[in-house]
Homo-oligomer: A and B are copies of this chain.
């Protein structure tokens, strides 16, 4: 099965199974990521109380952990929930927002890695910081290029066993051996807050239905890249783009994916 065919199959599986995706996320994107998950066909639940998060994480199809506006209380709940997901064999994805730029969450992310995320998705500065490289971004924004971060991403994948995604004009997805490049998207997308968080949330949906986290990560980046690229055509500005992305995820289908997706695979020579 080709890469795009695989993405089509994943999309169908999400719509058929409507997987429960548990999100522990930030106050900026809670609404938009819930809507993105509903639009793609998943069943999102945003739950981050310390009594509740472990309970839900152990039964959900996948868990999404995003440290964007983390507080000490939410951090404790994230530790418990990722441990519960790991123990229950549930996949989870980490979004290390602003890791490297802020001390507390940099330490937190290192602790969370012990609970074995299936996927880590960040921008170049965040991934380099997690890999122990780079100087950290500017707040939540990257100061490094995705290409620069690729070596660190491969290293991080090998260290953690996770698939690592570096978002940018070209998205790189690697498990340390295989690497995929997704060349969809649009230069207006960084003007919408939290589309990286949306990519991570969609990875929750794909993880819930894919056997291989590498496929899940590639498919999620394809879904958002394709939808964003189409939505940006003739868009009046970032608010219209956000709106058209949610509508576009709802309308997304195999024909659109086949016509628009640009994915390249690279296999490392063993």
Question: Which residues of chain B have C-beta atoms less than 8 A from A256's C-beta?
Answer: none
Verify if A13 is at the interface (C-beta below 8 Å from B): no
Q: Which of A98, A238, A248 has the most CB of B within 10 A?
A: A238
Given contacts A52-B103, A244-B239, A246-B237, A194 and B47 within 8 Å (CB-CB): no
Q: B102 near A55 (CB under 8 angstroms)? A: yes
Q: What's the number of copies of this chain in the assembled complex?
A: 3
Q: A68 near B46 (CB under 8 angstroms)? A: yes
A236 to B240, CA, bound (A): 13
Question: Which residues of chain B have C-beta atoms less than 8 A from A236's C-beta?
Answer: 244, 247, 251
A29 to B38, CA, bound (A): 14
Verify if A179 is at the interface (C-beta below 8 Å from B): no
Question: Which residues of chain B have C-beta atoms less than 8 A from A193's C-beta?
Answer: 31, 34-35, 38, 44
A118 to B211, CA, bound (A): 48
Nearest 7 Cβ contacts at the A-B interface: A237-B247, A45-B139, A239-B246, A34-B193, A51-B104, A237-B250, A239-B243
Could you show 13 A-B contacts with beta carbons less than 8 Å apart?
A: A28-B34, A35-B238, A39-B191, A43-B138, A45-B140, A49-B69, A51-B72, A51-B104, A55-B104, A236-B244, A237-B248, A237-B250, A239-B246
